[in-house]
Structure 1
Amino acid sequence: MSSNIPLRILLSGLLGAGLAACSNDSSNSSSGSSTTMSGKVADGYLAGARVCLDLNANQVCDDGEPSTTSSSGGSFTITNATAEQIASAAIVVEIIVGETIDEDNPGTAINKTYTLTAPAGYGFVSPLTTMVQNEVREKGVTPDEAKASIQTRLGTSVDLEEDYVAGSDGGGNDAAEFERVHKVAQVTRAVMQQNIETVTQVLDGANVSFEDVLALIVSQVLEALETIGTAVDNSSGEFDADALVDSGVVDDAGIDPSVVEDDLAEREAERNASSVSIAGVLSGGGSLHFFESDEDNGQVSFYYGTVSSGGGSSVTVTDYRYNSSNGLWETQASESNSEQTCILSSGSWTCVSEDAETIAISGDSVVVSRGGLSVAQETISGIAVSLTDKRIQTYANDEYFSLALDPTAKFSTNATGYKLTFTRSNDYYELYKDNTASIADCWDGTANTEGPWAPTDTWCNNAFTRTGDGNAQTDGNAAAALSELISANAAVSPETPEDIKGTDLYGNDKSWLMEFVSGGTLNFYPFSYGEGGPTLGSKVSGSWVQKTVDGKTILQFTLPELVAAQGDFDRYDRVQFFTVHEGYVRRGYVAKAGSSSDDEWVFNDTARDDIKAAFDDDLLVSLVACTAGDADAALIGALDTAATGCSATAFISDDVAGKSLTSDFGIFTFAANNTGSYFGELGDDGQKYLDFTWSIDGSGYIVINTSTPNGDGTTLYLRMNIAKVEQNARQVSVVTLGLEADSEAGLDSASGDVRGEVWNIR
């Protein structure tokens, strides 16, 4: 059940009351005997917050759900829940504005709302566990996978389930790191509060799903988590999370008000999407179109592909490339790819080109086969969303396409978007083979051709041994037997990679040494090379097993979540193995059974045509600000001088009416009736929402007039004069003069700063 509520309710702290109607949801009923669960909630410890089990997964504490109120020290105990509910329901914590106290600021009730969550079973709920739960909901990963991903972004090994307040006060070896994580949580909380205010102002009381709002807010914080961590590390003096956020150093974590409505509309559309038979779409004469781009040495190329029925059960894929010289999308022949994947099937390794896929309609399913092998098949299913009247740029799958689309263009009637899911029915084993022309071409042409660390053949897939004898000169031989990777005993206090027997693992510019210890323990040691030589980090342990699969001896292991996250391994590439093939040990992956999605939109014919019509590769080139006339404390004449020097042209109403212009300090939204609104920074007052009137004067300038109360009961009058230098569908280059005065008449003689800027249009 989703709950659509006015966002203003968030600010009043009345979420529970506003959602009382949800209490009749059948998912709230309890079965079995009641038990208890206890834990703590924190930014700093939170006393007086509502804590519940989110039985209907709407990220809100509804009446009828097992709940309690936290006490001093952030402690809570839920007593009216079943063991099944505790094991399966996420935890939600709601701040009660005016009542909840953050013990980092004792004696002062919190005056801005926010919501915290955590996966089922967590005993500690914080802004960091909120990010963990958001990853679980948004990406369908496990809590451990989500936690490892966030630990990687923060550069910490601290367990996010642990109480960082107690950890930082405990005086242990990790106290300093717990304190750092606590500060990150404080900044995250401050950003979440600010983002809720932004969304509330932009939507102005519109009914939206709170679960979509919270997901949008937390996802934005996640994207900027590394920035937040760096800001915390660089802070000095007495730490103040709110002041740090207000300083602008973590602005990347802030919601972009210009796209809030579109982002929420996309989330709602996907949540309300309907399942669709992809086989039915294709066999009924429809097509699926996907758009992508590629950048090479600063040159961007644009492509789209069309998947359609080839008659009978066959499915064809046609590729098109945009020719910028003539403005046409031209058919492109498939490019050859020498790289191969070797799949274990019927007791042998069958090597096929990485792009050797066949697609066919089979009954109600669309089936993708790798190299025609039945063991390596995926079934495609999907959901469909009506895109009618939705902004095209919102559904762009990558950065370059987004920049090359008219931001004001919308999809037409009957435009449809699809998201596809690919399901493997069984596990299969695969080795990679670069299949280069020569050994020297391995590793993008950087491989040694002889001596240690030299590939033995054009597979370019050797496991190289480290002997663990402390001598680097004995390392680097290509292993010929699995036993060469296995150590009888684990290394004791190793200081360099040369002290450990095993082999190396690389991923995302990270390096680990893998130590396979007899008995099944696998230790991963991160290592790097600095001025003082190689250094080892703290080990992460896992396990390995040797088994026979389809007649082949396999040494199989699963990457621990933290290693997988740091190496940026796809969750379906985390089960790996070594095996001997053609005389040498090779590394491979287990393609696990299950479902996955690339989380990208594909489109029907109508939507494809809309996208092509909105596409303009000239929009990739950003306009340049004309700053030659910049001046401080200047009168209106200085704007005239700057406009003339910049060869400004006159605005017309159609340039802005019905559009929004986004500067680096705020967003101006222009209605067609010469009214509008501004949301953004306003001097030292932080962010404000203001209504304004606008007109175009005799000089062709846009003139915006508004006012805002001063703290002393008087009124501050504001005016923005905007001259147009250059404009395209995506941006406008302007010269501005901002004025303020204590009376409306005083604006005529006021002075301000003249600035050349480039604003975005939507």
Structure 2
Amino acid sequence: MEYRKLALAGSLATVLAACGGSDSTETPTQEPPPTPPPAPSPTLSGKVADGYLVGAKVCLDLNENKTCDDGEPSATSEAGGDFELEATQEQIDSYPLLVEVTADVVDEDTGETVSSPYSLTAPVGYEFVSPLTTMVQSQIDLGNTSEEAEARIQELLDTTQALSEDFIAAQANSELTEEQQTEFAQMHQVAQVTARVMANNLATVQEAADAANISADDLLTLIVDTVVDSLDTIVDEVEAAGDDFDPDAVAESDTVTESTGVDGDTLEDQVDVMNAQANAAAANLVAEVSDTGIFWFDGNYDTDGLYLDYGSIMYDADTTTTTEVEYSLMDGEFVESTNTYKDLVLGEDGWQLVNDQFEITTLGEDGTITLTNKDFPGDSEVLSAEEIALEGLNTKLLLQDHENTWVWHKVIPEAQTFAEGAKAFEIEATTVNDLYSLYYWDDCPEDEMVEGLCNSVWSRTADSEDGPAITLASLISATASDGSIENLVGPYVAWDGQDNILAELVEGGVVNYYLVKWREDSTGQYVQSAHAYGTGTWRQETVSGVTLALMALPDDVIEFGNRDDDGEYLLSEYQGAVRQGDFVPAGTSFDDEVIFNVTAKNDIIDNVDLSLLNPGTEPPALSACTTGDSDWDDENDRPDLSTLKTLTEFRSLTSDCRGDNTAVFTEEGVTGSQYKIYEPDGTLETLVEFDAEGVGSFTDYNEDGTEDATESFTWSMTDQDEVVLEVTDENDTVALRFYMGLVEMSGDYASVKTYMEEADWAEMDGTGGEVLGEVWKKVSVNN
């Protein structure tokens, strides 16, 4: 304002002078004010890492096409993964970060350039970009909120730490607890592995993606979503590696590659299925169930065979009645099932046995429906759904992508697609009331029943004996034990072959979980051993006069036993023994199932081809001789070293298995032949080929039947009529030696006893190898 006054005074003096006014002293010339400096542009500073990445291009992805385009605010990451880019505040607040990691980018974890290019992303508001934030952004791209996306990845990582935090710096942050630092350290390791998995997948399918004109956006989302689906497996492998952790070894392990591989042959179909599910819209279940009905699918596939079930639910608004029909696969045909199922649920008068039959009791104006147990109204849930338009989508891939329909994909042709009008509904079921239930079954062999029921809790009691628990009190310890098998008391809560998880319930609410193993000692006797597995909490409650023990099983215990995660694990006395079940609190939501309309149901049922289950094979006419077989150590991903045998012992076991049979391998019979080895569920595991020149190869296959990896070997015959195979490393040193002894032949099938030494865990001198009995199928002779 002072400047304005001076300027006005100067102008007035000039005018007066021109008019012959006063001859007073001339007013000094006024200089203009300095130009104010421009306002600083907003900047976004952050870091990029699996290890800190140097030389990576970082941008705000303004068109969200997963590519740093010209004109988008960008910067290059420097030492420590630091970057700083200029952008408008609106851009910073509206668009995700994208990082292009090219082959010249240096990973400070290794000090070397990355082996293969890949991309990373992070949601709006994040300043730290990593493979973990990339998984969060992928879930946002598939329709989840930022909060939902981060919560899902945190659950899979089994952490509560914010995924936007710099996990490298946090490991050394003295203000954090040791437990928190350890969590961040594991997050770093998982990030290292997932970065390599994403890079490997991208390198594998990039050519196919280019040929199919698949966008960078769709390709990255598909690859990252595949990693998310297998994240629990990656976490398990990272934990199992322990102090021997090597990110390359974990990323390239059979377990990880089989679960995270992307099939380049079906990329277009996979992208179409992914985008259809991402674009799902709210569905009106009321309209569907009141018209032609909704259809559910379920099933299982194991060593006992294939089980396929489906059913329909319809509602008649005029009579307010529900009709439910179930069909089961029997002798190659679907027939109406007469099975009846029962549940034990806790009501006001204690445990009640009710039929597992539901009716629709409410049609919501928002399109939801409420299902209620006919015999027990307290068992009620509200179903909402999102609708997926299926027309043209690959039927096999859609079924494979959902937990309840997964097994059905095995009997659907590769090229089958859904017809016009086909729809699927991704269901979310939310419980209305607290529900306490016990598993009920009574059709096991009589000698396996306890007081008339099969549902008994196998436990270890104070007298160091294993057996069914009779009282809850017998499962609770006053104080924690020293962890030795002789002093452990508690129920077994998860099983995997001969290995079990025991829960030591300590008064006051602590649970100590122990891995209990049965192993054969040097005298041939089976003995138990215990190993600490984890900790947790439990509590005791009384509901409707019934005493309950409740515990939330840790994720690794659930995965160990392949248990359903249906709420808290529950123990209660019923009918003279302790029984097991679940507690699901009101408001709990489950969203892992998909159902279909009648058009989609017909597309599935009409195209079932049971011959696809094991193409070109029939059940083996032989059984494997498993006498003396070695056990597998899941924790270390190798044979249990305590169950290895000497080569001499292997030969004795082969002879015992052979008995009076005279069949042996001969060089003439082996030369030019091929053998297929199958998993217990019938899927192809390995193809072994023998060339005439004494060389051959192992080819391993993924679960979906695609080829995984091939390893060459040399082979020869021993004077014991065995075939011996050898695989050498880059130093021409024998890294694997494999002996095959023939037990019996029947047609194309061979009962084989094998002995394997691997340099990673054996001395390679015949003093300790893995022994297995298997049935192989001879599929061709090339000479």
Is the TM value for this pair above 0.5? yes
CA distance in 2, matches of 1:591, 1:560: 16
Within a 5 Å distance, the mapping from 1:329-340 to structure 2 comes to 331-337=335-341, 340=342
CA distance in 1, matches of 2:64, 2:437: 38
CA distance in 2, matches of 1:57, 1:375: 47
Is the counterpart of residue 316 in structure 1 residue 323 in structure 2?
Answer: yes
Q: Which residue of 2 aligns with 1:551?
A: 545
| 1:258 counterpart letter in structure 2 | D
* Shift in Å, 1:487: 2.8
What's the CA shift string for 1:186-207, capped at 9, x where partnerless?
6425424425625632432548
Within a 5 Å distance, the mapping from 1:220-369 to structure 2 comes to 222=231, 225=234, 241=248, 250=257, 253-283=260-290, 285-293=291-299, 295=301, 300=306, 302-310=308-316, 312-321=319-328, 331-337=335-341, 340-353=342-355, 355-364=356-365, 365-369=368-372
Within a 5 Å distance, the mapping from 1:409-428 to structure 2 comes to 409-428=416-435
Is the counterpart of residue 458 in structure 1 residue 453 in structure 2?
Answer: yes
CA distance in 2, matches of 1:550, 1:55: 59
Judged with a 3 Å threshold, the aligned counterparts in structure 2 of structure 1 residues 429 and 294 are, in CA distance, closer, same or farther, namely: closer
CA distance in 1, matches of 2:278, 2:182: 45
- Say if 1:465 and 1:479, in contact at 8 Å, map to a contact too: no
- Say if 1:383 and 1:419, in contact at 8 Å, map to a contact too: yes
Judged with a 3 Å threshold, the aligned counterparts in structure 2 of structure 1 residues 389 and 142 are, in CA distance, closer, same or farther, namely: closer
| 1:213 counterpart letter in structure 2 | L
Within a 5 Å distance, the mapping from 1:117-196 to structure 2 comes to 127=131, 142-148=152-158, 163=168, 184=193, 187-195=196-204
Bigger radius of gyration among the two: 2
* Shift in Å, 1:499: 2.0
- Say if 1:102 and 1:110, in contact at 8 Å, map to a contact too: no
CA distance in 1, matches of 2:307, 2:86: 59
Q: Which residue of 1 aligns with 2:107?
A: 102
Within a 5 Å distance, the mapping from 1:578-617 to structure 2 comes to 578-594=571-587, 596-597=589-590, 599-617=592-610
* Shift in Å, 1:219: 4.5
Q: Which residue of 2 aligns with 1:200?
A: 209
Judged with a 3 Å threshold, the aligned counterparts in structure 2 of structure 1 residues 545 and 357 are, in CA distance, closer, same or farther, namely: same
Q: Which runs of 5+ in 1 are unaligned?
A: 1-33, 150-159, 443-454, 632-661, 667-679, 682-755, 758-762
CA distance in 2, matches of 1:350, 1:378: 19
* Shift in Å, 1:498: 2.3
Q: Which residue of 2 aligns with 1:506?
A: 494
* Shift in Å, 1:360: 4.4
Q: Which residue of 1 aligns with 2:480?
A: 490
Judged with a 3 Å threshold, the aligned counterparts in structure 2 of structure 1 residues 279 and 112 are, in CA distance, closer, same or farther, namely: same
- Say if 1:324 and 1:617, in contact at 8 Å, map to a contact too: no
Judged with a 3 Å threshold, the aligned counterparts in structure 2 of structure 1 residues 300 and 246 are, in CA distance, closer, same or farther, namely: closer
Judged with a 3 Å threshold, the aligned counterparts in structure 2 of structure 1 residues 78 and 425 are, in CA distance, closer, same or farther, namely: farther
CA distance in 2, matches of 1:145, 1:206: 30
What's the CA shift string for 1:376-412, capped at 9, x where partnerless?
1112221222222333333335466434334334333
Percent sequence identity over aligned pairs: 24
* Shift in Å, 1:46: 1.7
Q: Which residue of 1 aligns with 2:563?
A: 569
What's the CA shift string for 1:62-103, capped at 9, x where partnerless?
999999975434468999999xx99xx999662343774212
The structure 2 residue matched to 1:472, chosen from 446, 464, 469, is 464
Q: Which residue of 1 aligns with 2:120?
A: 115
Q: Which residue of 2 aligns with 1:651?
A: none
Judged with a 3 Å threshold, the aligned counterparts in structure 2 of structure 1 residues 617 and 477 are, in CA distance, closer, same or farther, namely: closer
Aligned length: 556
What's the CA shift string for 1:48-67, capped at 9, x where partnerless?
44679999999999999999
Q: Which residue of 1 aligns with 2:615?
A: 622
Is the counterpart of residue 213 in structure 1 residue 222 in structure 2?
Answer: yes
- Say if 2:288 and 2:597, in contact at 8 Å, map to a contact too: no
What TM-score does the superposition give when structure 1 sets the normalisation length?
Answer: 0.58
Judged with a 3 Å threshold, the aligned counterparts in structure 2 of structure 1 residues 232 and 90 are, in CA distance, closer, same or farther, namely: farther
CA distance in 1, matches of 2:250, 2:308: 43
Query: What secondary structure does 1:593 align onto?
Result: coil
CA distance in 2, matches of 1:228, 1:516: 28
Judged with a 3 Å threshold, the aligned counterparts in structure 2 of structure 1 residues 251 and 317 are, in CA distance, closer, same or farther, namely: closer
The structure 1 residue matched to 2:393, chosen from 390, 395, 399, is 390
Within a 5 Å distance, the mapping from 1:79-90 to structure 2 comes to none
CA distance in 2, matches of 1:76, 1:663: 44
What's the CA shift string for 1:489-527, capped at 9, x where partnerless?
222xx2423223433322455522322333322222222
* Shift in Å, 1:294: 5.0
CA distance in 1, matches of 2:485, 2:95: 42
CA distance in 2, matches of 1:117, 1:300: 43
Q: Which runs of 5+ in 2 are unaligned?
A: 1-41, 160-164, 173-177, 522-526, 618-669, 674-703, 711-778
CA distance in 1, matches of 2:575, 2:565: 29
Is the counterpart of residue 376 in structure 1 residue 379 in structure 2?
Answer: yes
Let me know the Cα RMSD of the aligned residues: 5.6
What TM-score does the superposition give when structure 2 sets the normalisation length?
Answer: 0.57
- Say if 2:118 and 2:199, in contact at 8 Å, map to a contact too: no
| 2:350 counterpart letter in structure 1 | S
CA distance in 2, matches of 1:197, 1:115: 16
Within a 5 Å distance, the mapping from 1:19-34 to structure 2 comes to none
Query: What secondary structure does 1:607 align onto?
Result: helix
Judged with a 3 Å threshold, the aligned counterparts in structure 2 of structure 1 residues 81 and 534 are, in CA distance, closer, same or farther, namely: farther
* Shift in Å, 1:593: 3.0
CA distance in 2, matches of 1:81, 1:181: 34
| 1:485 counterpart letter in structure 2 | L
